[in-house]
Structure 1
Amino acid sequence: MKKILFFIAIASFSVIGFSSCSEDDTVLETPVPNQNPNIGQQLTLTANTSYSTEKKRYFSPLGNQVMLSATSGGSAVSDATFYVNGKEIMGNRYTSNTITTVTIQAKRAGYLDSNVITVQFAQKPYF
């Protein structure tokens, strides 16, 4: 009888020992950072309106559309997002029917934010 109990005890410990040492545990891996080759390149924002180098701002008549474009290193960045006075706009065109001065900036993931440009909407330039 002692041999049977001893055999059952050895078998039980063996089954528990082997089953608890399985490799089902999650393996923690060190994350690899996303290597973005564009990081560090800054976007350059331009507009298709007249520019005053003296006042450092663009001018657009009331109601005219201002077309915005973003480039980086001489290449166009077509999927940049444009912000007027800090608020995102849809597309790359902006117009105003009231006399105002707005600031515009372009942003895109993987690039440094663009320079901020100022556009004045008025009937005639108030430079």
Structure 2
Amino acid sequence: MKKLFFFIAIASFSTIGFTSCSEDDPVVEIPTPNPNPNVEQQLVLSSNATYVKEKDILFSELNKEVTFTTKSDGTTITDATYYVDGVEIVGNKYAHKTIAIVKVQAKRAGYLDSNILEIQFAQKPY
């Protein structure tokens, strides 16, 4: 009787030991990142500088502020960052004290960079 009891005990412990260690763990899937829906939309930069058709240039008088506006698909982008000759400016207004032609561009994360505007600052268009 002891042998039968001993055999049943060993069989049950070995069965419990093999069934408790399962290899059926769930498969860990790598999440796909949420693509930015705006990544293919380009920013369109405009300004209140005067367009001189004869010279084909945007013009502003010295020390007069030029205000920039950025849009994408008709929606105004208020938090765009503006760069004048590659240097970031604060806000969306810019004034120049000396005669120069500056290049302005708008950038924002999730969008393609805007077109580049060339604005001439002088007393009169040359």
Number of corresponding residues: 122
**Equivalence for 1:95:** 95
Q: d(CA) in 1 for partners of 2:31 and 2:43? A: 32
Q: Does 1:31 align with 2:52?
A: no
Change (3 A) 1:109 1:29: same
State the one-letter code of the partner of 2:91. G
**SS where residue 110 of structure 1 aligns?**
coil
State the one-letter code of the partner of 1:59. F
Q: Is the 8 A contact 1:57 1:117 kept in 2?
A: no
- Which string of whole-angstrom CA distances, capped at 9 and with x for unpartnered residues, describes residues 66-102 of structure 1? 0000011122111111111111111000011111110
How far off is 1:28 after superposition?
6.1
Q: Does 1:41 align with 2:41?
A: yes
How far off is 1:54 after superposition?
4.0
Report the aligned-residue RMSD: 3.0
State the one-letter code of the partner of 2:35. N
Q: d(CA) in 2 for partners of 1:91 and 1:48? A: 15
State the one-letter code of the partner of 1:101. I
How far off is 1:39 after superposition?
2.1
Q: TM-score scaled to structure 2, two decimals?
A: 0.73
**Equivalence for 1:57:** 57
What are the ranges of 5 or more consecutive residues in structure 1 without an aligned counterpart? 1-6
State the one-letter code of the partner of 1:55. K
Q: TM-score scaled to structure 1, two decimals?
A: 0.73
> Highest CA radius of gyration, 1 or 2?
2
**SS where residue 114 of structure 1 aligns?**
coil
Q: d(CA) in 1 for partners of 2:53 and 2:29? A: 57
